[in-house]
């Protein structure tokens, strides 16, 4: 049960890292969105925590692709939210659709990994 909580934390950190990297990029280079230091702070902290997890824990096989999907999901969600708030940037249709597809892929992949680990007899 403890392994399951740790892996959910890794996915959450990957999602926050994706949100904050897109937020930092937008805050630094977009003239439409006002500058904020908080995405930069969140980016540094989430990448540091992900690095510490990488050094101290081994990920199960097939799990890094799900973590990368969560990172990409964070980037797409932030892009969709910013585009909804500032319509001058463009439409949020494509990031929203890609986010939904990615959410369904992550759920499917997690259920397949859980099924695979329960067949082997590991506790996931």
| 7-66 confidence digits (pLDDT tens) | 889 999 999 999 999 999 999 998 888 999 999 999 999 999 999 999 998 888 889 999
**Residue 120: pLDDT band by 50, 70, 90 thresholds?**
confident
Residue 3 has pLDDT above 60, yes or no: no
Cα dihedral 49→70→80→20 (10° resolution): 10
Q: Are 47 and 7 in contact (CB under 8 A)?
A: no
| 63-80 confidence digits (pLDDT tens) | 999 999 999 999 999 999
Name the nearest CA neighbour of 73 among 101, 102, 39.
102
Give the tokens for residue 108. 């499917």
Name the nearest CA neighbour of 67 among 22, 17, 123, 118.
17
Q: Are 101 and 42 in contact (CB under 8 A)?
A: no
Global confidence as pTM: 0.88
Q: Report the alpha-carbon distance of residue 91 to residue 84 in Å, rounded.
A: 7
CA angle 117, 123, 124 (to 5 degrees): 65
Spans of all domains in the chain: 2-120
């Amino acid at each position: 049960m403890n392994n399951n909580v740790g892996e959910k934390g890794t996915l959450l950190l990957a999602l926050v890292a994706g949100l904050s990297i897109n937020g930092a990029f937008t805050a630094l280079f977009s003239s439409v969105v006002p500058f904020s230091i908080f995405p930069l702070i969140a980016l540094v902290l989430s990448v540091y925590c992900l690095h510490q997890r990488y050094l101290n824990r081994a990920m199960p096989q097939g799990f890094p692709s799900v973590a990368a999907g969560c990172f990409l999901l964070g980037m797409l969600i932030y892009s969709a939210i910013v585009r909804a708030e500032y319509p001058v940037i463009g439409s949020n249709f494509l990031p929203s659709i890609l986010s939904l597809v990615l959410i369904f892929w992550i759920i499917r992949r997690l259920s397949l990994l859980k099924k695979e680990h329960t067949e082997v007899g590991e506790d996931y």
